[in-house]
Amino acid sequence: MSASKSFTIFLVVCLAMIMISIVAPPVEGARAFFVFGDSLVDNGNNNYLVTYARADSPPYGIDYPSHRPTGRFSNGYNIPDLISQYLGAESTLPYLSPELRGQRLLVGANFASAGIGILNDTGIQFANIIRIFKQLEFFQVYQTRVTALIGAEETQRLVNGALVLITLGGNDFVNNYFYTPVTARRLQYSLQDFSRYLISEYKKILTRLYELGARRVLVTGTGPLGCVPAELAQRSLNGECAVEPQRASEIFNPLLVQMVRDLNQEIGSDVFVAVNTMQMQNNFINNPQTYGFITSKIACCGQGPYNGLGICTPASSLCPNRDLYAFWDAFHPSEKANKIIVKTILSGSQNYMFPMNLSTIMAMDSRT
């Protein structure tokens, strides 16, 4: 065999090995992670959109490893990042990122978009955002892209075996029902009836996720909406949690747990897990010093009363130590608060995680 022919064969073998490494299925035990929802879990999709709902300027990202804004509404890591770390995986890329291709698709994807809600009319003031059913359409396209890499059977296995996080509901209250003193939804529904309507629509979304292959889904409720700095600044009397938004959380979250219970019974399996983020956050809001915070009322970054007016910008008041503040900006927890939330997602009792926590899910699934 001539030297030139041997070299040609060597190049072909090398290229084949490279291609296999690019499109190989995930290694045994690896788990993809998919994220849907709003700004609490957006990893930067809105950076690629013409919208007012963006976190792409300083001081966002000040404590992220790059110390630069990434599109996350946080000083550092957000909840999906911290869950990815627990899974032993890199953070999921935004679905709109041009870097989401090849082998990186197999890690999963983040479809979340700041400003969206359960309802299509939520967040209209933010203009161009990825509403939830569009996120689900992107999930279908994602599966088509992965099928081209690893085939239909492996793609189904990857999706069925993935962990999914979905976070919705808060914007439907603060950026819809309560957005102005008089709104179309307020005229249409009482707070109790609006909450029930949201739950019925959320159930349709979760059912569609199941149809698209999701089999382990963490479903978060709202946080204590009346206690965030934005609501304290606009509605609070003497620093107490604003009554109406807080009542909305107290109505919505138990309804969500019951809906998850009913949906699992209909399916015949514990596909969906209700995450009681309201109670998780109430713990450090009511007892901030116990968790190492100096305040749970004042945001680290912002302006006005409680730093709760407007958005966080380079001109905003900025605290020197973000770990001392439960809230990063007017609406979003700090990275340290996110770590407390994720720790409870991992190991919390049924008061926080129904019917089971993430550690139990991982242990159960490792045996199947």
Which positions are annotated as active-site residues? Answer: 39, 329, 332
C-alpha 339: how far from chain center: 14
Query: For residues 264 and 215, is the Cβ–Cβ distance under 8 A?
Result: no
Q: What is the per-residue DSSP string for 325-363?
A: BSBSSSSSB-HHHHHHHHHHHHH--TTTEES--HHHHHH
25: nearest Cα among 117, 106, 118: 106
Beta strands at 353-354 and 272-275: parallel, antiparallel or unpaired: antiparallel
- CB-side exposure of 246: number of CA atoms within 13 Å? 17
Query: For residues 35 and 92, is the Cβ–Cβ distance under 8 A?
Result: yes
Distance CA 43, CA 97 (A): 10
Tokens at 211, concatenated: 């149809």
Dihedral in degrees, nearest 10, Cα atoms 69, 73, 74, 79: -120
Residue 256: exposure state from Cβ atoms within 10 A (0-12, 13-18, ≥19) = buried
Tokens at 327, concatenated: 């809230």
* Positive or negative torsion for Cα 333, 284, 173, 262: positive
> Which helix or strand (DSSP H or E) is residue 275 part of?
strand 272-275
Residue 55: exposure state from Cβ atoms within 10 A (0-12, 13-18, ≥19) = buried
Cα angle value 61/223/248 (rounded, 5°)? 140
